[in-house]
């Protein structure tokens, strides 16, 4: 009596060796998602400072700015125009990167960086000549807190733009790979929007 032959399937080891690919529960690019989450946290930080500002003005009914002091509204307005212009050049840089226009991308990134540096220089000069210090009054503390917090964000944005400029002039970025321009651009637009809020609230309201 012959024994029945049993065929055993042979498994072919053709899968990729090494750790499995990370599971991505979101279709959003990790770098983009990280920047958006960071911006949300920064919005909450600014909200804390604005809470102190509105408490002083709405609850305490204190004069703004403090008596005997004044704010350089025209200078701040000019600075606002400079920063808003940098948003346009940043958009130009990203559009050029997506379209394969390397000259436009490099020019846009460089102009954005220079406009940002101009804004920060004007703000520092404003601090030097404004005539009051953070510790003089509660209004002074809030003024320096809000504008200084924004200035720190401008400095971070300039650092990101510096890296983007270096990479652009080294031949990086293409229509298929331009995250290094897009991510700093998102942050820079956030910085610009926050200045519109700070300028409108602190200087004009």
Compute the distance between CA of residue 45 and CA of residue 197 in angstroms, rounded to an integer: 14
Whether the bond between 113 and the residue before it is cis, its omega within 30 degrees of 0, is no
Instruction: Give me the domains of the chain, ranges plus CATH numbers.
Output: 30-58+72-204 (1.20.120.80)
pLDDT at 31: 83
pLDDT score at 29: 78
Task: Output the pLDDT for position 10.
Answer: 46
Cα within 13 Å of Cα(51), Cβ side: 6
Contact 62, 141 (CB under 8 A): no
Q: Is the full-model pTM beyond 0.85?
A: no
pLDDT along the chain (205 residues), means of 10: 48 50 61 88 93 92 92 94 96 95 96 97 95 93 95 96 95 90 95 95 93
The residue with tokens 């770098």 is 31
For residues 164 and 109, is the Cβ–Cβ distance under 8 A? yes
Tokens 């080294």 label which residue?
170
């Amino acid at each position: 009596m012959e024994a029945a032959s049993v065929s055993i399937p042979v498994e072919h080891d053709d899968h990729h060796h090494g750790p499995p690919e990370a599971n991505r529960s979101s279709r959003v690019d990790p770098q983009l998602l990280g920047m958006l989450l960071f911006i949300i946290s920064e919005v909450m930080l600014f909200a804390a400072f604005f809470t102190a500002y509105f408490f002083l003005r709405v609850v305490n009914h204190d004069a703004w700015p403090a008596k005997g002091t004044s704010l350089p509204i025209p200078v701040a307005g000019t600075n606002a125009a400079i920063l808003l212009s940098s948003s346009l050049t940043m958009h130009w840089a990203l559009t050029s990167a997506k379209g394969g226009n390397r000259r436009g991308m490099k020019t846009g990134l460089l102009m954005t960086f220079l406009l940002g540096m101009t804004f920060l220089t004007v703000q520092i000069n404003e601090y030097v000549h404004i005539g009051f210090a953070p510790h003089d009054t509660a209004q002074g503390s809030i003024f320096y807190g809000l504008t200084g917090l924004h200035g720190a964000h401008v400095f971070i944005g300039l650092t990101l733009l510096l890296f983007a400029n270096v990479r652009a002039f080294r031949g990086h970025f293409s229509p298929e790979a331009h995250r290094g321009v897009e991510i700093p651009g998102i942050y820079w637009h956030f910085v610009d929007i926050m200045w519109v809020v700070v300028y409108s609230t602190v200087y004009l309201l």
